[in-house]
Amino acid sequence: MSLIDIGIVFIITGFGLALLRIVRGPTLADRAVAADICFFSVVATLAMLAARGELAALADAVLVASLVGFTATISLARLVGKKRR
């Protein structure tokens, strides 16, 4: 088992814990952060798989997903900020 495989196991564990926070989160902000963690866990897993398999196309998909995720994070932050006012 390589270091990349161990890293994927840790990322999947974090994904599972974030899903638990989505289910049990007391506030909308907790759920938004947990959803963001879930998304970036998937992106990180894709990046690890791209590194392990030396797949350049998958690395490009990771870059695009990161940009989309950043935009989604900003949108979620604005949504949570409006709900608090």
Q: Give the chain as a DSSP string.
A: --HHHHHHHHHHHHHHHHHHHHHH-SSHHHHHHHHHHHHHHHHHHHHHHHHHHT-HHHHHHHHHHHHHHHHHHHHHHHHHHHHH-
- Overall pTM surpassing 0.75 (yes/no): yes
pLDDT tens, per residue, the chain with 85 residues: 789 999 999 999 999 999 999 999 898 889 989 999 999 999 999 999 898 888 888 888 999 999 999 999 998 888 888 876 6
Could you state, in order of their start, the residue ranges of all structural domains in the chain?
3-84
